[in-house]
């Protein structure tokens, strides 16, 4: 994998993909996992190391860690049951000052729902991203649309005139992404 900064956005499954990619890339290079939103803390089998630190403190810790193949999940703070991440600008600063082989970012939230309709300002993807995965749950094509499977269903309704109970077309699904 040649990309240095990977962002993952879209519907449910982003955190699982982030940890799977992290485990894969950590075999060969140091990999930093983080978020620009909020994620649940990793289980030990998902990510063995976790750092909660502000941007400057994280940079210092990662500079000490060096380049050994390993994986660390980092967040700015704990907020309830979740970890709150860094701004896209913070991530750009972190990446510019450390020698990670790879940084993988969950750059979106969808509360685990299969599809996400975006606000105008979303998603918060760092400008330095050189690979961007946009995902959705495949079940969105086999289940009728509703607030139970679409995050921000009201936006989907207003932008695409979709209604509860309808099935989404491939064209409308691609347009939401």
One digit per residue, the tens of pLDDT, for the chain of length 177 reads: 578 999 999 998 899 999 999 999 999 888 999 999 999 899 888 888 889 999 999 999 888 776 666 889 999 999 899 999 999 999 999 999 987 689 999 999 888 899 998 888 889 999 999 999 999 998 999 999 999 999 999 998 998 888 999 998 888 888 887
Q: Tokens for 73?
A: 């999940």
Angle, vertex CA 24, rays to CA 133 and CA 36, nearest 5: 45
For residue 25, report the phi and psi dihedrals to the nearest 5 degrees: -75, -25
Q: Tokens for 86?
A: 């860094």
> What span, in angstroms and rounded, lies between the C-alpha atoms of 116 and 159?
12
For residue 8, report the phi and psi dihedrals to the nearest 5 degrees: -125, 125
For residue 67, report the phi and psi dihedrals to the nearest 5 degrees: -110, 15
Please state the domain extents for the chain. 5-133, 138-176
Largest alpha-carbon pair distance within the chain?
A: 54
Neighbour-count burial of 60, counting CB atoms closer than 10 A to its CB (0-12 exposed, 13-18 middle, 19+ buried): middle
pTM of the model as a whole: 0.90
């Amino acid at each position: 994998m040649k990309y240095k900064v990977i962002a993952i956005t879209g519907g449910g499954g982003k955190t699982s993909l982030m940890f799977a990619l992290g485990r894969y890339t950590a075999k060969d290079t140091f990999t930093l996992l983080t978020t620009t939103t909020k994620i649940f803390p990793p289980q030990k089998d998902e990510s063995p190391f976790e750092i909660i630190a502000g941007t400057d403190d994280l940079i210092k810790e990662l500079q000490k860690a060096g380049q050994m193949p390993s994986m660390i999940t980092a967040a700015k703070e704990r907020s309830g049951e979740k970890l709150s991440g860094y701004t896209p600008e913070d991530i750009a600063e972190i990446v510019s000052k450390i020698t990670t082989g790879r940084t993988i970012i969950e750059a979106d939230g969808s509360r685990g729902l299969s599809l996400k309709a975006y606000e105008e300002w979303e998603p918060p993807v760092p400008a330095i991203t050189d690979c961007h995965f946009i995902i959705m749950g495949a079940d969105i094509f086999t289940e009728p649309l509703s607030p139970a499977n679409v995050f921000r269903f009201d936006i989907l309704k207003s932008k695409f005139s979709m209604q509860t109970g309808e099935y989404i077309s491939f064209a409308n699904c691609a347009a939401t992404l």
